Amino acid sequence: MRPGEVWLVGAGPGGPGLVSLLAYHALGQADVIVHDALVSPDLLALAPRRTQRVFAGKRGGKPSPRQADISLQLIELALGGKRVLRLKGGDPFMFGRGGEEAGALATAGVPFRIVPGISAGLGGLAYAGVPITHRDTNQTVLFLTGHDEAGAVPGAIDWPAVAHAAPVIVMFMAVKHLGSIADKLLAAGRDPQDRIAVVSHAATPQQSVIETTLAEAHALGDVPTPAIVVLGPVSSYRQSLDWYVGEARKHVFG
């Protein structure tokens, strides 16, 4: 990393073992780490004690920094000659506002680098034994976010089109509105018996999975967050591919 440069880095969905080598090296070189709420404390602990840590977490329904303020902080730190690591859960360009922050840096003339991370919509589901593609079930996948800037169900989404766009739909930040989303998909003709898996705290020791159907999505009750939701036939593979249990979980984090 060079002084005056910002690296937008994906921290993956879980512990330190799921980050890239570039991310690992950035942790050791950065002067300042500006991190999200979803970044593992174990990952932050890999940085030297001298490294300044700045919390910039945004969580639905909780007091959060404004996105414009976060982008401005990155710019000011870089213009002050700092080597800045912007560490974001999952992948910065997958519903992570990485594009907005990179755009702000580009406009300000601040050099930056993008370091991709493993998205919860891929790696998190893999830890739950759910392959998002399988030759026997689907050749397409659709990714969507479950809330808009105001925290409501996204009105800009064409739900009738989404309902039939792909056999598998992966939903980010959708737990709060899952019942309403299910209603929209059912009204558009999606199969009520389509399977749903909700993976909470994916790829961490606290991971839990709830399974249901589209018709029963309203009855889920309180679901731990953060969570990733997958709808479609691939959820059925959990019965044989759920590897992250018992001794396997102890081995990964023990």
- Match 């680098």 to its residue by tokens: 113
How many Cβ atoms from other residues are within 10 Å of residue 216's Cβ? 14
**Of 1, 31, 58, 184, which one is the catalytic site residue?**
58
Q: Can you list the positions of beta strands (E) in 11-104?
A: 32-35, 52-55, 84-88
**153: which DSSP letter?**
P
Q: What are 7's strand-pairing partners?
A: 85, 113
Q: Please, are residues 2 and 54 in contact by the beta-carbon 8 Å criterion? A: no
Q: Write the burial class of residue 226 (CB in 10 Å: 0-12 exposed, 13-18 middle, 19+ buried).
A: buried
Choose, from 91, 173, 176, 194, the residue flagged as catalytic. 173
Query: Is 94 assigned a catalytic role?
Result: no
Of the residues 36, 82, 94, 176, which is catalytic? 36
Which tokens sit at 203?
A: 């790829």
For residue 221, count other CB atoms closer than 10 A to its CB: 6
Q: Tell me if residue 1 is catalytic.
A: no
Q: Which two tokens stand for residue 55?
A: 């919390």
Give the distance between the most distant pair of CA atoms in the chain: 56
Is the CB of residue 40 less than 8 Å from the CB of residue 15? Answer: yes
Q: How far apart are CA 6 and CA 112, in angstroms?
A: 5
- Number of C-beta neighbours around residue 104 at 10 A: 19
173 is catalytic: yes
Residues identified as active-site: 36, 58, 173
